[in-house]
Structure 1
Amino acid sequence: MPLEPCDPHTHLTLSPPPLGYDDDQGDYLLQVKDHLQYRYEVGETLGSGSFGKVVKAKDHKTGDWVAIKIIRNKKRFHTQALVEVKILEDLRAWDPDDTYNSLRMTDHFYFRNHLCVVTECLSINLYEFIKQNQFHGFSLGLIRRFTSQIL
């Protein structure tokens, strides 16, 4: 079968096509078992919000489970995330022995134009706990326990 001649009206473009790693909002399109930085293996999605997504991942260097916040590939979210990284770096420097039990950032990096912030994988957050309690109040004893952990 002979080859068809090239269409003379077809134009070549020098810009590469989109790689397809992001959705329309700039969120990174993740799959379970994806690897980030050849180190972190994506498990489940823990949450998502206006900033991006948080996933649980296995750190193959340490063997620990970590949480990775993958920031949307949009300038305004990136700028705010850099402030968060700076705050987490300062907290780590001011409390190297983890005396005050603040969230520990263990790493941050760029992956396919997304800033990724790696932290220890903690349990439920306060909002989710309140939601699970159907937005009812808590006992004074429980409030004291929360307060002592914060202070």
Structure 2
Amino acid sequence: MTLARLDGPHLILNRDRWCCAIGRGGIRADKAEGDGATPRATLPLRRVLYRADRGPAPRCAVPVEPIGPNDGWCDDPASPAYNRPVNLPHEARHEELWRQDHIYDIVGVLGWNDDPVVPGRGSAIFLHLARPDLAPTEGCIALAGPDLRAALTAGLTGIEVA
């Protein structure tokens, strides 16, 4: 497993060091839905999703899948689909993966609260593209486009958040 290490506002992989954004709630060991925190954990990279209409598939060590306009992710702790991909429209609260902005043009699905899923422990923890100003996320880890592609190409398979 090729792990990157989160060090303050930097993601470090081998000798590469990239500025990144983390959750507006900081880093928490007791991550909960809606707290805006990035979980303190070793987060395996499960797979990478991307918008084929906005760029080529990233090269990476994990499975890569295109997303479409009907793809979403359930973030409703009361739903049986909590912290899982869903088809839209979906009756429970959810995120749309096909966004007008570009932050989900490349989305690494990080292994948080998925084996098993515990309602309320946090959902949709992704590695994705950062906003141009590196604004905080809702709990995800975000990198600039060239940096995210470089990390994936370098064989990234997980992130250690300490």
Name whichever structure is richer in strand by fraction. Answer: 2
Task: Identify whether the pair has TM-score above 0.5, normalized to the shorter chain.
Answer: no
The structure with higher relative contact order (CA 8 Å, sep 6+) is 2
Q: Which structure: larger Rg?
A: 1
With normalisation by structure 2, the TM-score equals: 0.26
